[in-house]
Structure 1
Amino acid sequence: MLDTRAVELNTEEVRGKTVKEPFSSLYRCGSLLGSGGFGSVFSGHRLSDGLQVAIKQISSDRVQQWAILPGEVGLVPMEIALLARLSEVGGHGGVVRLLDWFEVGGRGFLLVLERPPQSQDLFDFITERGALREGLAQRFLRQIVEALRFLQSQSVVHRDLKDENILVDLKTLDVKIIDFGSGAPLKDSLYNEFEGTRVYSPPEWVESQQYAAGPLTIWSLGVLLFDMVCGDIPFEQDQEIVTATPSFTRRLSTECQSLIRWCLSYRPEDRPTLEQILSHPWMEGGETEEEEEEEEGGRAGSLQEPSASL
C-alpha cells in the first residue's frame, strides 16, 4: 500500500536527486506552456535523443503533501511518489508517465513527463468542436475508466478528474490522465481534505467536507461524461451539486442519460463501480467506421501545445 511514509520503487528506473548528472546535462527546457495551481509546465526535450517532453516545475512552498522515497534523504512531493509508484509497475497507456525527476536548489522540483507530440487537453478539444458525438465520448470514457482501474489497482486516487486533466492524442484519439498534483494514496476510510476542482466535487464534500475515494471518482466521471456529450459541465453552484439533478441541454440517447444520472446519484452508495460503468448498455456501442472517418477529416488544423496541467 502506498502511503505518505514510504513508497517502494526501483531507483534505477526513476532518477531522483541521487543521479550524478544534473538536469541541465540531460534535458533542455523550452517555452512556458502554462501555469496551474500546483506548478508551471514547460516544453522541453531530452538531449540524448531529442525526445519531446513536458517539464513541470513545482515550488516547494506550494506542495500540499510530502512522501518518503527509499534512497532519498529528504521528502519529495506526493505527486512524484505516486507517479514513481505507477512507473515502477510498468505504467499504463492511459496515464502520463514520469520519465525523470530532480530537486533543484532554488527552483523546487522538476518533473520530466512524457508528452505526445500532437496533443490537446480535452477542455480545449471540446471548446473547439463543441459537444462530442456519443460514439466518441464513449471511446474516451472507456479509456479513462480503464486507466482509473489501473490507478485503483495500484492504490492511487487522482482526485481531480476533469477535462483539463485529460490529454487527447489528436492523431490516434488515445487519451491519458495527467496532473497528479491532487492525487493521494488510496484508502478505505473517508478523506477530509479536497484539493481538486469544486464544480467536479460531489454533494457529500459540499455538505459535510468528507468523501470516499470510489464515489468521488465516479461522480467526477459523471460530470466529465456530461461535459463531453453536452459541451459544458452540469453544475456551477453548490446548490446545483447537492440537488444532483442534471438538466440535459442536448438530445441524448436514453442509455447515455441513464449512465450520467447513475454516476451523479446523490447518495455515494447508489453510484456504480468502474466495472459497472464498463458493463452499462451505453458502453457496448462505439464509433461507426463512417464516424471515425469524419473525425479523421476534422483533426487537421487542430493541433496545439498540450495543456499546462501535466
Structure 2
Amino acid sequence: METRDTELHLKEEARGRYVKEPFHRQYVWGPLIGSGGFGSVFSGQRLSDGQQVAIKEVSNDRVGTWTRLPDEADPVPSEIVLLQRLTEVGGHRGVVRLLDWFQVKGRGFLLVLERPPHSQDMFDFITERGALPEHLARRFLGQIVDTLLFVHAHGVLHRDIKDENIVVDTKTLDVKIIDFGSGAPLKETPYSDFDGTRVYSPPEWILTGSYRAEPLTIWSLGVLLFDMVCGDVPFGSDVDIVRAMPDFPPRLSNGCRSLLRWCLCYEPHLRPSLQQILSHPWVEGGAEEEEEGS
C-alpha cells in the first residue's frame, strides 16, 4: 500500500536543483528496503541507463535541520547540502553519492542515492556472522577513518557513525558511510544539539549536553570497533556510558584493547585524532602484516 500511495503522490509536480523533468519520468520506484527515524528507503532504477539506485524519502516533519541554498526559494534538509558539498568536490569511494534530489509538494523530499551492489549494512553483517575477526574489523575501521578524514576535510560532520550507517559490499568488503541526516557543518566550537544514536554518544553529551566534533567521532568509532570485534555495543545505558569501562572478552588482542581504551577514554581531550587511529600499532602493524601476506 505504501508503494502504491507513494507512486500516486509522485505524479505530482516534483523538482530538484539540477532537474527539469519530474521524478517519475526519470526513475522507477521499487519496494521498501529499509526504514527508521531517518525516513524510508526504497530500491529504484534510473530509466535513462538502468542504473540501480536507492531512493530515500524524508517527510518534512522528520527533517532535523534546514538549510537554504543560493538558488532555491525554500529551505532544504541539511543532509542534501552536506552530501552535495561532498559530491561537488569529487566525492569519495567511502561516501554514498547523492545523484539527485526532489521536493514533492505536500510530501517532503526524495534523495536519489547510489546503491552499491551486493550491499548489506554492517548491523546485519555482524548479526549474521557474529563478532568479526580482528583482521576484518581492522580493514573496515581503516576504510571508515580514511573516509572520515575526507569528510572532515571538506567541512562536514556526520554525527551518527554506527553499524547501521555503514554499508558493506559483501563481495569486495569495501564499505561506505550512509545517512547524513544527523550531520552538521564542521566547526571548532562545541555543539549543543545531537540527533545521533544514544548508545553511540559520549559521556560529555550525557553529562553536559555538549561535545566537540572530533572527540564525538572518535568515541563513536570506539563503540563501532567494539561492536565489530565483540558482536554488540559496549554500553547499554547512560550509566554505562559515563562509567566508560567496557568489558573485553579474553580473546581480544592487547593491541585491539589498547585502541579501544584510547577511543573510549572518558576525557574527550585524551582521545586520539583520526590520524592517530591510523598510526596506532594495531591498525598500522596489522595492515603491514596483511600486505606481506597478500
Q: TM-score, normalised by structure 2?
A: 0.92
Q: Could you tell me which residue of structure 1 aligns to residue 129 of structure 2? A: 129
Deviation of 1:106 after TM superposition, in Å, equals 2.2
SS in 1 for 2:210: coil
Are the equivalent residues in 2 in contact too, given 1:17–1:103 (CA < 8 A)?
no
Are the equivalent residues in 2 in contact too, given 1:230–1:250 (CA < 8 A)?
no
Return the letter of the residue paired with 2:193: E
Q: Could you tell me which residue of structure 2 aligns to residue 169 of structure 1? A: 169
Are the equivalent residues in 2 in contact too, given 1:56–1:111 (CA < 8 A)?
yes
Which piece of structure 1 moves more, 258-267 or 31-40?
A: 31-40
Q: Could you tell me which residue of structure 1 aligns to residue 86 of structure 2? A: 86
Return the letter of the residue paired with 2:125: F
Equivalence map 1:236-255=2 (5 Å): 236-255=236-255
Q: How many residues align?
A: 278
Are the equivalent residues in 2 in contact too, given 1:118–1:171 (CA < 8 A)?
yes
Are the equivalent residues in 2 in contact too, given 1:18–1:72 (CA < 8 A)?
no
Q: Could you tell me which residue of structure 1 aligns to residue 25 of structure 2? A: 25
Return the letter of the residue paired with 1:138: R
Are the equivalent residues in 2 in contact too, given 1:84–1:98 (CA < 8 A)?
yes
Q: TM-score, normalised by structure 1?
A: 0.87
Task: Label 1:104 to 1:261 Cα distance change in 2 as closer, same or farther (>3 A).
Answer: same
SS in 1 for 2:196: coil
Flag the structure with higher helix content: 2
Q: Distance in 1 between matches of 2:210 and 2:291?
A: 44
Are the equivalent residues in 2 in contact too, given 1:277–1:283 (CA < 8 A)?
yes
1:141 aligns with 2:141: yes
How far does the alpha carbon of each residue in 1:217-242 deviate from its partner, in whole angstroms, 9 at most, with x for none? 00000000001001110000111100
Q: Could you tell me which residue of structure 2 aligns to residue 104 of structure 1? A: 104
Q: Could you tell me which residue of structure 2 aligns to residue 10 of structure 1? A: none
Q: Could you tell me which residue of structure 2 aligns to residue 38 of structure 1? A: 38
Return the letter of the residue paired with 1:173: L
SS in 2 for 1:245: coil
Q: Distance in 2 between matches of 1:165 and 1:18?
A: 27
Return the letter of the residue paired with 1:209: G
Deviation of 1:291 after TM superposition, in Å, equals 9.5
Return the letter of the residue paired with 1:93: R
Deviation of 1:57 after TM superposition, in Å, equals 0.5
Task: Label 1:136 to 1:108 Cα distance change in 2 as closer, same or farther (>3 A).
Answer: same
Deviation of 1:290 after TM superposition, in Å, equals 12
Task: Label 1:215 to 1:199 Cα distance change in 2 as closer, same or farther (>3 A).
Answer: same
Q: Distance in 2 between matches of 1:19 and 1:116?
A: 23
Are the equivalent residues in 2 in contact too, given 1:157–1:185 (CA < 8 A)?
yes
Q: Could you tell me which residue of structure 2 aligns to residue 269 of structure 1? A: 269
Q: Could you tell me which residue of structure 1 aligns to residue 180 of structure 2? A: 180
Q: Could you tell me which residue of structure 1 aligns to residue 214 of structure 2? A: 214
Q: Could you tell me which residue of structure 2 aligns to residue 224 of structure 1? A: 224
**Sequence identity, in percent?**
69
SS in 2 for 1:215: helix
Return the letter of the residue paired with 2:69: L
SS in 2 for 1:217: helix
Q: Could you tell me which residue of structure 1 aligns to residue 10 of structure 2? A: none
The higher-RCO structure (CA 8 Å, 6+ apart) is: 1
Deviation of 1:70 after TM superposition, in Å, equals 2.1
Deviation of 1:68 after TM superposition, in Å, equals 1.2
Return the letter of the residue paired with 2:216: L
SS in 2 for 1:207: helix
Q: Distance in 1 between matches of 2:176 and 2:116?
A: 10
Task: Label 1:217 to 1:106 Cα distance change in 2 as closer, same or farther (>3 A).
Answer: same
Deviation of 1:44 after TM superposition, in Å, equals 0.3
Q: Could you tell me which residue of structure 2 aligns to residue 151 of structure 1? A: 151
User: Runs of 5+ in structure 1 lacking a partner?
Assistant: 1-14, 293-310
Are the equivalent residues in 2 in contact too, given 1:86–1:154 (CA < 8 A)?
yes
Cα RMSD (Å): 1.6
Deviation of 1:73 after TM superposition, in Å, equals 1.2
Task: Label 1:168 to 1:261 Cα distance change in 2 as closer, same or farther (>3 A).
Answer: same
Q: Distance in 1 between matches of 2:18 and 2:89?
A: 21
Which piece of structure 1 moves more, 63-72 or 273-282?
A: 63-72
Deviation of 1:34 after TM superposition, in Å, equals 2.0
Q: Distance in 2 between matches of 1:289 and 1:126?
A: 25
Divergent runs of 4+, >4 A = 287-292
